[in-house]
Amino acid sequence: MSFSTFVTDKAGLQKFYEAIMASQETYAPVEKFGKFDFKRVSALAECDPESPIAKTMSIKPLFFPRTAKVMKFVATSAGTDVSEVDEDPLAVKRVILGVKHCDARSLQVLDKVYNWDYIDTDYQNRRQNTVIISTRCDKADTHCFCTSLDYDVENLDAMDILVVHGTDGKEYIKARTEKGNELLSSDVTRHASPVTEEITAPVLKSQYASFAASFRLKMNYKEVNEKLSKIFDTPEFENVSGNCVSCNTCAFVCPTCHCFKISDEKIKDTGVRYKSYDSCNNGYFTLMAGGHNPRPAKYRRWRQRAMHKFVYYKERFGENLCVGCGKCTISCPVNISIFEVVNQVSAAAMQE
C-alpha cells in the first residue's frame, strides 16, 4: 500500500499542527524549568514541536507512566476489599507530535518486552490508540549516537507520520502507516499539497546525509555486543562505575528502561497500590526478603545495566536495549556516559 506525502512551507507546517490540535487530543513538548516534557496541549503557543534534543524528555511516560495507581484497597480485620482504579487517561485516541526519531524507535524496542511472556494490555491500548508524528532532526546533539546502532534511522518506520525539513526549504509530511495515512487524508493537510515520491525522495536523502554527517559519536555496536558478551568478569566495570552515586536518573530518563516496583501506601484502613519506575542501579533493586543481595556492589549493578542494554536484550529479542539518544549522559550528575562505558570496557577487556 502506498501512503501519501504532502509538501508545504513553515507556516503551512504550523497550520498542520494547529489543525491536529483543534481536532485531536494532542501531546507535544512543553517547556518547564528549561526542559521539555510531553504534555497535553491545545494550541501551538503552549508547546514547541522543534524542542532541542538535549533538553527534551522521552515519550516513555505516555506509555509507561513514572508512577501509576494499580488498584485501591480497604484492609480491615474482616478482610481486604479491592477496587479498580479510574479509567486509563492515556488509552484514549491521541496524537503525539514533536517526537524525536530515537524516541519513536524506543517504542519498537519496548514492544518486544511488552508482547513477550506477559502481554501488558495497558501498554497495548496506549500504543494502539496513539498516532506518532516524528520530526527528523537536522543536526545531532553532542551525546547522540542513534546512527551507530542496530536500526535504520534514515528509513525508520517507527512513526505513523514523518516530518522532514527539506534541504530545499520546504516541509515534507509523509505517512508511514495506515493510521498516519488516515490522519493525513483528513482536512489537517488543507494548507499542504500532495507531492510525488520522485520529488520527495532526493530531498529527504540529502537532508539525511547532512544530518548523518553531523555526528560526533560513532560506535561499532556489533563489536561492542561481541566483546561485552565475553568479559563478564573484567575489573574494568569497577573503573567506569566508580563515580556513580546510584541516583537512578539514567534509567528514569531512558526511553527503553522498563523496570518498575510495586508499592502500597496505606493510611489507616485505606490504601493504594502503585507501579513506579525502578532501576537496576538502585542498591535495593535485587535485595531479597531474606537479606541476600546478589548485586551489593555498584560495579555489578552497572555491569548489569551495560549487559542488559548490549548483550542480554539483544540475545533475547535481537535488538539493543539502547537507541543512542544520549539522555542518560546528559542527565547524569557525575557525567557517566553509556557510550564511553561500553566502549571503554570492551577495549580494556580485550587487552587483559
Which residues here bind ligand SF4, judged by CB under 6 A?
244-250, 253-256, 281, 309, 322-328, 332-334, 336, 338
Which residues face 99 on adjacent strands? 134
Nearer to ligand SF4, 98 or 326 (CB): 326
Residue 70, all three cell numbers: 494499580
15: its cell numbers: 497550520
SS (H, E, C) 55-119: HECCCHHHCCCCEEEEEEEEEECCEEEEEECCCCCCCCCEEEEEECHHHHHHHHHHHHHHECCCE
Least distance (Å) between residue 158 CB and ligand SF4: 13
Minimum separation from the CB atom of position 281 to ligand SF4 (A):
4
Residue 183 or 328: the one with the smaller Cβ distance to ligand SF4 is 328
Q: Which is nearer to ligand SF4, 212 or 334 (CB)?
A: 334
* Cα–Cα dist 65/277, whole Å: 8
CB hemisphere CA count around 199 (13 angstroms): 15
Q: How far is Cα 184 from Cα 14, in angstroms, rounded to an integer?
A: 15
Cα pseudo-dihedral 209, 55, 156, 112, rounded to 10: 150
**Quick one: which of 219, 217, 222 has its CA closest to 314?**
222
3-state secondary structure of 225: helix
CA-CA distance, 338 to 331, in Å (whole number)?
Answer: 12
Triad 23, 28, 34: Cα angle to 5°: 150
**Other CB atoms closer than 10 Å to residue 199's CB: what's the count?**
15
- Nearer to ligand SF4 (CB atom), residue 95 or residue 240: 240
Residue 265: in which H helix or E strand, if any?
strand 260-267
Least distance from ligand SF4 to the Cβ atom of residue 146, Å? 9
Dist CA 148 CA 153 (whole Å)? 9
Q: Shortest distance, CB of residue 194 to ligand SF4, whole angstroms? A: 36
Whichever of 8 and 320 has its CB closer to ligand SF4, that residue is 320
Report the residue number, 231 or 336, with the smaller CB distance to ligand SF4. Answer: 336
Q: 169: helix, coil or strand? A: coil
Cell 542501579 locates to 281
Q: How far is the CB of 282 from ligand SF4 (least distance, A)?
A: 8
Least distance in angstroms from the C-beta of 95 to ligand SF4: 24
Closest distance to ligand SF4 from the beta carbon of 320 (Å): 8
Minimal distance in Å, beta carbon 142 to ligand SF4? 12
- CB of 129 or CB of 246, closer to ligand SF4: 246
How far is the C-alpha of 343 from the C-alpha of 339, rounded, in Å?
6
Instruction: State which residue, 95 or 322, has the beta carbon closest to ligand SF4.
Output: 322
